[in-house]
Structure 1
Amino acid sequence: MAGHKLTIAYDGAAFNGWQRQAGHPSIQQTVEEVIARIWNRPISIEGSGRTDTGVHAVGQVAGFTAPRKLAAPVLLRALNDHLPFAIRVTKAEFLEPSFHARFDVREKTYEYRVHNAPFSDPFLVDRVWHLPMPLDFAAMEAAAAHLRGEHDFAAMASNAGYARTTTVRTISELAISRRGPLVLFRVTADGFLYHMVRNIVGALTRVGRGKLSPADFGKIVRAGKRTAAPASAPAMGLYLMKVGYYPKPVRLQRAKNRRDPTWLPEPDADDAE
């Protein structure tokens, strides 16, 4: 069996999220159907994580094993010739069969895009969150300082319908920048809780609008209660940009650990946005 790794970009507005679900179009199901045509057999793929309805991706990663390899250019052409235009496979690689797109993740990077202009742009519908009011960058930066590093992010996590063993995560990058009318929030972490990025952006923009002080935002984070935090930002502005993986020797050891009957998934491996 050959291990395959795909890097996938998609327009999330056209699908009911990444995860396969009966009666609703999903990215996972759509890609699996094309892969089944190529190998003439059902093949399941595993994504690096689940993205919700309306969330986009530039660098989602999916892994699967297949009976034989196809040359990367041939596989790319076969996939993209049959996938809808809202999904593109941008890269195909061959890795060890034990590679796991979800359990071997070391870090992820998300970007949230806010269209900060007086009027909305019809060409950016379902691509950004439009906020017409001015945003105070200095205040948002001061608030963001409470998030960088290792913290308990319970206040920034929505209820995903499953129990968590820990809400501690490490944010290695949280950058706020402006590109024309777009305000970009870029977040890299070793794992994300459900709606964590959207909740962070919802809170930071409230600080930027003068509705919440940076000091009070810090108190909300430390209190660890989601009910005290501002509302979440909508899905349409969120993009999964990049997924980073452990090097091969570490992946092989992790695969060996997974064969142990007492093995349990790490808490960071079950995130969703």
Structure 2
Amino acid sequence: MPRYKVTLSYDGSNYGGWQKQMNTHSIQEEIERTLERIVKEPVSIHASGRTDAGVHALAQVFHFDSNKNLSNENWKRALNSLLPKDIRIQQVETVSDTFHARFDAAGKRYDYLISEDVLNPFYERYMAKDRAHLDVAYMQECANVFIGTHDFTSFTSSKLDPRKPRIKTIHRLEVRKEKHAVRLIFEGNGFLRYMVRMISQTLIEAGKHKLTKEDIMQMLEAKDKHVCRYKADAQGLYLVKVNYKNQEE
């Protein structure tokens, strides 16, 4: 049965996250329902990972199998014609039946955006807001603490499965001042639940000089879920890219 790799963008504002859940509307549910309308039978999709309620994606990836005889371009057209306008299919590719959107992912990029313009209603769903003037240079100095391979137990959800490894590698953590926002760029081989949001808020507090670099080093070295009480708002977070093994950059 042919397997398809799909790259999509979505505005997460109106959803309870990627994954299907009992009491909220999810992006996965919306896509599977749409695929069922096209192929006239249930279809399961498998994503590179979950995003939480309110989190956005520029290039999430999922795969699915189907015997429906459609070209890649017609899959894209059919899906976009039926999906809500806040979920857009960017590309459909035919791939090997051994490809897996989650298990073949070699790394991801997330961006986090913070605006000082707290009165701008058009940023409400798409950036975190903080009226403080952030010290971007000091945020970068503190961000360097996280680069490399570390145990990130202090910066993840307490609900994380205890069997799941907490060791991850961050290759890049850049703090960039832009015209309308401060952008945090995370690139790594993978991220734990809430990890990017918890590190982001920690760096925001450092940018307000409420935390020192030494404080952050101690938090990381503690490997203790209870030492970090910071978690940035969901709407500032974007899944920007998923990298795959043997993928040409």
SS at match of 2:146: coil
Equivalent residue of 1:8, what SS? strand
Structure 2: distance between partners of 1:218 and 1:129: 24
What does residue 36 of structure 2 align with? 36
| 8 Å CA contact 2:115, 2:128 repeated in 1 | yes
Q: Counterpart of 1:159?
A: 158
Give the secondary structure class of the aligned counterpart of 1:197. Answer: helix
Once residues 206 and 230 of structure 1 are traced to their aligned partners in structure 2, the CA distance between those partners, rounded to angstroms, is 11
Shift of 1:69: 4.4
1:215 aligns to what SS in structure 2?
Answer: helix
- Please tell me the root mean square deviation across aligned C-alpha atoms, in Å: 1.3
Equivalent pair of 2:61/2:242 in contact (CA under 8 Å):
yes
Structure-1 residue corresponding to 2:25:
25
3-state SS of paired residue (2:145): coil
Contact kept, 8 Å, 1:2 with 1:69, in 2: the verdict is no
State the alpha-carbon separation in 1 of the partners of residues 172 and 69 from structure 2.
37
**Aligned mates of 1:131, 1:174 — CA distance in 2:** 20
In the alignment, structure 2 segments of 5+ residues that lack a partner are: none
Percent identity, aligned pairs only, is: 36
CA distance in 2 between counterparts of 1:46 and 1:123 reads 32
Paired AA for residue 113 in structure 1: L
- Asked whether the 8 Å contact 2:3–2:64 carries over to 1, the reply is yes
Instruction: Label 1:95 to 1:69 Cα distance change in 2 as closer, same or farther (>3 A).
Output: farther
Label 1:230 to 1:138 Cα distance change in 2 as closer, same or farther (>3 A).
farther
Q: How is 1:62-141 mapped onto 2 (pairs within 5 angstroms)?
A: 62-117=62-117, 119-141=118-140
Q: Kindly indicate whether the alpha-carbon contact (under 8 Å) linking 1:159 and 1:194 is maintained by their aligned counterparts in 2.
A: no
Sort the Cα spacing of 1:168 and 1:115 in 2 relative to 1 into closer, same or farther, 3 A.
Answer: same
Q: Distance in 1 between matches of 2:195 and 2:129?
A: 20
Structure 1 residues 148 and 161: alpha-carbon distance in aligned structure 2, compared to 1, 3 A threshold: closer
Contact 1:202 1:230 in 2 (8 A): no
**1:225 aligned partner:** 224
Deviation string, structure 1 residues 132-173 (Cα, Å, up to 9, x no partner): 111111211111111001111111112234223421100011
Equivalent position of 1:187 in the other structure:
186
Question: How has the CA–CA distance of structure 1 residues 140 and 230 changed in structure 2, closer, same or farther, with 3 Å as cutoff?
Answer: farther
- Cα deviation code 1:39-60 (max 9, x no counterpart): 1111100011011111111110
User: Structure 2: how far apart are the matches of 1:146 and 1:132?
Assistant: 25
Whether 1:16 and 2:16 are equivalent positions in the alignment is yes
1:217, distance to aligned residue in structure 2 (A): 1.1
Distance 1:218 1:116 in 2: 27
DSSP 3-state at the match of 1:217: helix
Q: Does the Cα contact within 8 Å between 2:160 and 2:193 map onto a contact in 1?
A: no
Alignment CA distance shift 1:128-1:74 (3 Å): same
2:147 corresponds to 1:143: no
1: CA distance between counterparts of 2:111 and 2:69? 33
Shift of 1:212: 0.7
Equivalent residue letter for 1:247:
N
Distance 1:138 1:224 in 2: 26
Q: Output one character per residue of 1:181-218: Cα deviation in whole Å (capped at 9) or x when no partner.
A: 21111101111111000000010000000101112211
SS in 2 for 1:114: strand
CA contact (8 A) 1:10 1:58 kept: yes
Q: Which amino acid aligns with 2:74?
A: V
Task: Give, in whole Å, the separation in 1 of the partners of 2:207 and 2:24.
Answer: 37
Shift of 1:116: 2.2
Partner amino acid for 1:159?
S
| Equivalenced residues, count | 247
* Structure 1 gap ranges (5+): 249-273
Tell me the SS of whatever aligns to 1:50.
coil
